[in-house]
Amino acid sequence: MLSRQQDPIVALASAPGRGAVGIVRVSSPQSLEPLVEALCGRALQPRHAHYLPFLSAQGEAIDRGLALYFNAPHSYSGEHVLELQAHGGPVVLQLLLARCLEAAAELDELGRPRLAALRLAEPGEFTRRAFLNGKLDLAQAEAVADLIDASTEAAARSAGRALAGALSVEVGGLRDALIQLRMLVEATLDFPEEEIDFLQAADALGKLQRLLVQLDTLLARSRQGAILREGIKVVLAGQPNVGKSSLLNALAGAELAIVTPIPGTTRDRLSQTIQIEGVPLHISDTAGLRDTEDVVERIGVARSWDAIADADVLLFLHDLTRLADADYQAEDAAIQARLSGVDPARLVQVFNKADSGAAPLQLPEGALSLSAKTGEGLEALRQRLLQQVGWQALPEGQFIARERHVQALQRTRGHVQLALQQAEHAVLDLMAEELRLAHDALGEITGAYTADDLLGEIFSRFCIGK
């Protein structure tokens, strides 16, 4: 895409479908004044809203609305930008979009196109240009998409903080500390004749230890931000009729799944997203795990095992009213054996139907007892789900983060830890190399050191027009 960076681009910047207002956005490194003249019939004062007709090639009004012109670099993308705010009908907006492309190709009095090479924007291209033109760093650019995609109020607020630069400021502080350390090490390597004990005079060990503490703090907050963005994948599994669908309905607060006493009622995966303390939970009810001759149900059971393998948290449900049944116990044991490969940290044993009056049971360590029918024990389950993924509410200054940010910080920390070990043995050349690698890993978060293929992956997930 970098080879097409100089192309003018145009796209619908509002959501598809009908609405009160729709927006067509044009961005170009070169002046848009010839295009403005063709579409609006007059020049526009930058950064002022003008109510006027949008003109066809014949000079007729396609629609009337607001036109705004932003001169570079004072725009979202850092380029010259024109926004046409029209009525939000799909046909009207498509006419305006087509008219922009048509007007750009029309020849002026010198036989030149008004705006050569104007093309439709690719997903995320406006924001990508904002990043490349220094209007946003990469973490802020990602926060734009996260703000649009936020599924909870807490996620939206945290994405807003990241967009405002909360994560970037923290990363910048760590970067400055790394730069200072690198300068000190490099200076000592360049002037070995100086009779100065670098490690003691510069307090290199102390600086590295403090940097590790700061990295650990930011890592913890970034993990929370990643949970807030990605949510938690929770899968309900167990034998038929243990109450999986009832528990899904209870957690969602709505009758989403059909509940009957007939085994095998749920034959396919049913998912619902809810939130607990602002954290999205993607809960999946699955077909009961059992051997069956029913072809459709057998497919559902296979999908259940696929969902189990992909879960962040697996709730293995048991029926308190059937624990004395030898056949039931045998089936439960067979399922448990097959779950032996599941990380115990992801597995929660849940004993349902506590309202049945079944004999008291000594639950396994860490297990929960509840009633999906009455709601008893549901709050304890909600808190356990958050605990399973290490969620700790940090309302003050919480910012949204991505898994790649967490991985970059982990690599940074690893290199700083190795640099500390080299410093303890006064091996300055290896220490300098580890600090350089730490600096590069940290730079991946804000885009200071980022491969083009990663940029393509990030921005391809944006919506067109943003």
Binding-site residues for Mg(2+), please? 245, 266
Q: Which residues are annotated as a binding site for GTP?
A: 241-246, 260-266, 285-288, 352-355
Q: What are phi and psi of 106, to 5 degrees?
A: -65, 145
- The one-letter code for the residue type at 275 is Q
CA distance 244 to 166: 41
CA distance 440 to 412: 8
Q: Which of 76, 65, 402 is nearest to 222 (CA)?
A: 402
CA distance 25 to 23: 6
Q: Which residues are annotated as a binding site?
A: 25, 83, 135, 241-246, 260-266, 285-288, 352-355, 466
* Three-state secondary structure call for residue 228: helix
Q: Using alpha carbons only, what angle is made at residue 25 by residues 20 and 30, rounded to the nearest 5 degrees?
A: 160
| Burial call 324-347: b when 16+ CB within 10 Å, e when fewer | eeeebeebbeebeeebeebeeebb
Q: How far is CA 173 from CA 167, 220, 231, 338, 452, in A?
A: 10, 16, 28, 48, 25
Q: Which of 282, 279, 289 is nearest to 252 (CA)?
A: 282
Q: Which residues are annotated as a binding site for K(+)?
A: 241, 260, 262, 265
Q: Which residues are annotated as a binding site for (6S)-5-formyl-5,6,7,8-tetrahydrofolate?
A: 25, 83, 135, 466
CA distance 15 to 13: 7
